[in-house]
Chain A
Amino acid sequence: MSLRRIDCGFIPLVDSAPLVIARELGFATEEGIELALHKEPSWSSLRDKLVMGRLDAAHLLAPVPLAMSMGLGGMPAPLDALSILSINGTVIGVSPALAQKMRDAGLEADLTDANAVGKALISQAQLPLTVGVPFPFSMHAELLYYWLGALGLQAPQQLNVRTVPPPLMADAIAAGEIDAFCVGEPWGSLAAQRGVAELVLPGCAIWRFAPEKVLSVRRGWAEREVEATAALMRSVWRAAKWLVDPSHQMAAAEIVASEPYLNIAPEAVERTLGQSVVVDRSGLVRTVPGLIEFFDCAATFPWRSQAAWIAVRLATRLGADRGDALSVARTCFRADLYRDHMKGLGAALPSASEKLEGGLSERIAVAAVQGEMHLGPDRFFDGNVFDPTV
């Protein structure tokens, strides 16, 4: 029997791991699909190929399907997010000179205190502060605007957010084109190792449980391709479950780092999977709890409240209508499909598809319609709680 082929695009980042593992360890085949993975050179190319039907599915930055469904950006088109591929995984670095000034001003770098780091950054940087992010619509950009905005920095007057592809981030900060960056690992650690940047904060210190990448398809595809959609979602979920077993870390790193995928040293991937970063040129390694999550605490569930947070931030920042943004958020993150297709897999299914975002300091058990369900800490650094119903 020939398998149904699904063409899925990805960008070579550690958080493409669930897709790579789904293919390489046969989870996709077991679910009855041939998962053909296509490495794409840029987010815009990946997006265009998905919209134009050259690809069936894509590894996308969580805000991209929302922005596109809201009619924003270069190629607006309605997209669905089927599930979350990864939580967190970004790091913020500054130039060594700026890091030194922040230290001289009394900052004790411990990678946890977003308040202290943000205040030191604002007071010591030359304004406007220029920060590199991988794409205009990205959690990197949203976290930066949220964090520095809450600390009083005005965008765009005092904050210049520029797009720089992750592999070029180290060069850009070395050349003085940007003062700081927010980028997905391993690119931050690699820049730190080169001595052109020092890491000052992980993204998870701004929002402890931020949806980072999603598995996305064109609107309508999931309805036309019911079996394929179910198989794709299930195989990626099983891959994520396999991926987070600590005994699989080394093997996972080897596979993800190999030539058809990231094509980098496996040590860099293994370090990220082990929740660690390289902070500076001395090679100092620090462990960051929650640096990147793939599975635990319902990480793969596409919460409508996460979508609402992102959509409201986009609408506020870009002057779109908040009500429209919220209605897009309700339809874009497909919690309904997740419930339909994950039955019988043992996936935890929460009793609601929305929750307060930012309300938890600790891991807790919550009501579930299927499976045992825990939610993890998800605080915002400023203690705000986002209620999608208000």
Chain B
Amino acid sequence: MIVDGLREAGDFELSVIGDVTGLARQVAAFNPDLVLVDLENPSRDILEGLAHASTPMERPVAIFVDRSDDELTKSAIEAGVSAYVVAGLQKDRIKPVIDAAIARFQMFSRIRKELDATKAALAERKLIDRAKGLVMSARGLSEEEAYALLRKTAMDQGKKMSEVAEALVTAADLLK
């Protein structure tokens, strides 16, 4: 998705590094003008290191945020993207790329959050279903009664229903 967004922003040669082992070598091999990185990526410090380690023999790399455009820097950080640019690269050449990256990162992080929330809700529901089943068979209750008992227990203990369910499921697994 991000790649497509960047393609639309202009004519660029793009390379995506998925596997971070040998990241330094991969970056050197591709020899890019611009490196975009997710702010939440723990490997970002490796790029930071490369930016400082460049000797006069290599192409100097500067962090994009050279402070000449604080607004752009700020919106990039808000969006969760950071960029490293070869020094001397024309500003008007990189601006559209960064803008596109910011827009795509925002969209991407929204989708990611939605997905995480959905996943968590699904996992909780599964857990409650299992706990309900355990209560039903152990106490001979109906589905509604089992659910009501779980909810009451959670309220009495000041816990979330999923927490009570998790405790029950764990205990049941241990006693198997």
Interface residues of A (CB under 8 A from B): 41-45, 48-49, 52, 54, 73-77, 134-136, 156, 161-165, 167-168, 171, 175, 177
The CA-CA distance from A77 to B42 in the complex, in Å, is 23
Q: Is A44 touching B48 in the complex (CB atoms < 8 A)? A: yes
Q: Closest residue of chain A to B74, judged by CB? A: A52
Q: Closest residue of chain B to A163, judged by CB? A: B49
Q: Is B82 touching A44 in the complex (CB atoms < 8 A)? A: yes
Contacting residue for B46 out of A76, A164, A171, A175, CB 8 A? A164
Contacts A74-B65, A75-B65 given; does A175 touch B21 at CB 8 Å: yes
Most A Cβ at <10 Å: residue of B22, B40, B45, B63: B45
Contacts A52-B73, A163-B50, A177-B22 given; does A44 touch B45 at CB 8 Å: yes
The minimal Cβ–Cβ distance linking B89 to chain A, given in whole angstroms, is 16
Interface residues of B (CB under 8 A from A): 20-22, 24, 39-53, 55, 62-63, 65, 67, 73-74, 77-78, 82
Q: Closest residue of chain B to A48, judged by CB? A: B77
CB neighbours (8 Å) of A41 from chain B are 39-42, 44
The minimal Cβ–Cβ distance linking B125 to chain A, given in whole angstroms, is 22
Most A Cβ at <10 Å: residue of B41, B49, B63, B65: B49
Q: Is B65 touching A162 in the complex (CB atoms < 8 A)? A: no
Contacts A41-B40, A163-B46, A168-B42 given; does A74 touch B77 at CB 8 Å: no
The CA-CA distance from A75 to B73 in the complex, in Å, is 10
Contacting residue for A45 out of B39, B73, B74, CB 8 A? B39
Q: Is B52 touching A73 in the complex (CB atoms < 8 A)? A: yes
Contacts A44-B44, A52-B74, A136-B48 given; does A162 touch B39 at CB 8 Å: no
Q: Is A162 touching B52 in the complex (CB atoms < 8 A)? A: no
CB neighbours (8 Å) of B67 from chain A are 75-77
CB neighbours (8 Å) of B45 from chain A are 42-44, 134-135, 163, 165
Show 11 residue pairs from A and B whose CB-CB distance is below 8 angstroms, ordered by the A residue.
A41-B39, A41-B44, A42-B45, A48-B77, A52-B73, A74-B48, A74-B52, A75-B65, A77-B67, A135-B49, A164-B49
CB neighbours (8 Å) of B53 from chain A are 136, 161-163
Q: Closest residue of chain A to B63, judged by CB? A: A74
The minimal Cβ–Cβ distance linking A229 to chain B, given in whole angstroms, is 24
CB neighbours (8 Å) of A74 from chain B are 48, 51-52, 62-63, 65
The minimal Cβ–Cβ distance linking A241 to chain B, given in whole angstroms, is 32
- Apart from the given pairs A135-B49, A168-B42, 15 other A-B contacts in the complex at a CB distance below 8 Å: A41-B39, A41-B41, A42-B44, A43-B48, A45-B44, A48-B39, A54-B78, A73-B52, A74-B48, A75-B65, A135-B45, A136-B52, A175-B21, A177-B21, A177-B22
Q: Closest residue of chain B to A174, judged by CB? A: B21
The CA-CA distance from A312 to B21 in the complex, in Å, is 34
The CA-CA distance from A49 to B44 in the complex, in Å, is 14
Q: Is B49 touching A48 in the complex (CB atoms < 8 A)? A: no
The minimal Cβ–Cβ distance linking B176 to chain A, given in whole angstroms, is 26
The CA-CA distance from A175 to B67 in the complex, in Å, is 37
Q: Closest residue of chain A to B65, judged by CB? A: A75
CB neighbours (8 Å) of A135 from chain B are 45, 48-49
